[in-house]
Structure 1
Amino acid sequence: MTSSNALGFTQIVDPHEITDELKQTLVDCWTEVSNAGGAAGFPFPPVDAVEVTAVLDRIIEKLAPTASRLLVALAHGTVAGWLNIRCDPHPPVAHWGTIHHVQTRLGVRGQGVGAALMSRVREVARDEMGLEQLHLAARGGVGLEEFYGRLGWKEIGRWPGALRLASDDDRDEVLMMLSPL
């Protein structure tokens, strides 16, 4: 098991911080995870680098310290996983953020990278972004509710059958919240 002490984390809060090499590594990770059936934003594999790059570019364009960040987990200097945390400065909702595109490389699955990434994002949200709670939506039927539940997240609702992955495969979208941070 990878100790969270063996992991490093980096935050990207400005589009200019993304190097070509890092961008390509994030694209490679997302493509790998999606094509293995991961619930990280592309429900219909296979995807290719062109498709993933277009979506990642839109995320990168919106990076800003107070609105959107990438949190990247590094194992031995290599990207092991990443996620996007976003918040809205509009006063009624400025106290919470949303987690998107949580993913870990296939080669590090089961080694605690995902749990460490989620623990670190909790600290970032609370200590650096001043948030009080986090939200996420998870694809039902793949064990994500249990994974997040072990980390303190609570299911707060479901949209039954909201995700149609195939004509005979409707999945719930599971709404989850972590509060207090």
Structure 2
Amino acid sequence: MPHDSPPHLTQIAGPHDVAPGLREELIGCWIDVTNAGGAAGFPFPPVGQGDVAPVMDELLGRLDPRSGRLLVARVDGELAGWVVLKRDPYRLVGHWGTIHHLQTHPAFRGRGIGSALVHELRRIARDELGLEQLRLAARGGEGLEEFYGRLGWREVGRWPEALRFAPDDTRDEILMVLAPL
């Protein structure tokens, strides 16, 4: 089925705002993204429900209108992708946030879902949370720095060979920032 409709974005600001069934959809998306090779938090596929569900429950439990948001993209009613924004809890760096777990379901890749999520997250960070900059860490060797670069992010550093997937597969962790918002 072609998915030609633009994504509909929904912001979730607290654990009690998670609609029935959404938790299972998010877990299913995370499993599908990871098992398709996506760099979304589980580096060693395959993963299943038992791996992802406890991490999802922790993530959803930490949502808070002041410090953590979940943004969900749907196309024609189907979950197409999601991302998490967290404000740093420490006053010294409380003016910035971090994005985590940006993912687009494999069935929706190449449709601008990830870009739409990042653009809206930027707006939420600036207009609703009063943040001044965002940061993220991305897995090297996946082309993610190019993706984020097209959206205005810039690389500010690397942790060389920080990520070891196998004895012959060690990659940099790429540190990126988006400022000003």
Q: Same fold (TM over 0.5)?
A: yes
User: 2:162 maps to which residue?
Assistant: 162
Letter in 2 for 1:75: V
Q: How many residues align?
A: 180
Partner Cα distance (1:88, 1:142) in 2 = 26
1:145-160 paired onto structure 2 within 5 Å: 145-160=145-160
User: 1:11 maps to which residue?
Assistant: 11
User: 1:93 maps to which residue?
Assistant: 93
1:28-177 paired onto structure 2 within 5 Å: 28-177=28-177
Consecutive unaligned residues in structure 1, runs of 5 or more: none
Q: 1:124 to 1:2 in 2, by over 3 A?
A: farther
Letter in 1 for 2:103: Q
Consecutive unaligned residues in structure 2, runs of 5 or more: none
Q: 1:110 to 1:89 in 2, by over 3 A?
A: same
Is the Cα contact below 8 Å between 1:133 and 1:179 reproduced in 2?
yes
RMSD: 1.5
Is the Cα contact below 8 Å between 1:137 and 1:174 reproduced in 2?
yes
Is the Cα contact below 8 Å between 1:2 and 1:112 reproduced in 2?
no
Is the Cα contact below 8 Å between 1:136 and 1:175 reproduced in 2?
yes
Larger CA deviation: 151-160 vs 11-20:
11-20
Normalising by structure 2, report the TM-score.
0.95
The sequence identity of aligned pairs, in percent, is 56
Tell me the alpha carbon deviations over residues 115-169 of structure 1, each in whole angstroms, 9 at most, x when there is no partner: 1111111101101111010000000001000000011000000001000011110
Is the Cα contact below 8 Å between 1:30 and 1:52 reproduced in 2?
yes
Partner Cα distance (1:120, 1:29) in 2 = 20
Partner Cα distance (2:130, 2:49) in 1 = 35
Larger CA deviation: 5-14 vs 36-45:
5-14
Runs of 4+ in 1 over 3 A off after TM superposition: none
Partner Cα distance (1:74, 1:132) in 2 = 28
Is the Cα contact below 8 Å between 2:12 and 2:71 reproduced in 1?
yes
Q: 1:19 to 1:2 in 2, by over 3 A?
A: closer
Partner Cα distance (1:60, 1:67) in 2 = 12
CA apart distance, 1:2: 7.2
Partner Cα distance (2:89, 2:169) in 1 = 37
User: 2:24 maps to which residue?
Assistant: 24
Normalising by structure 1, report the TM-score.
0.95
Partner Cα distance (1:117, 1:97) in 2 = 15
**SS state of the match for residue 39, structure 2?**
coil
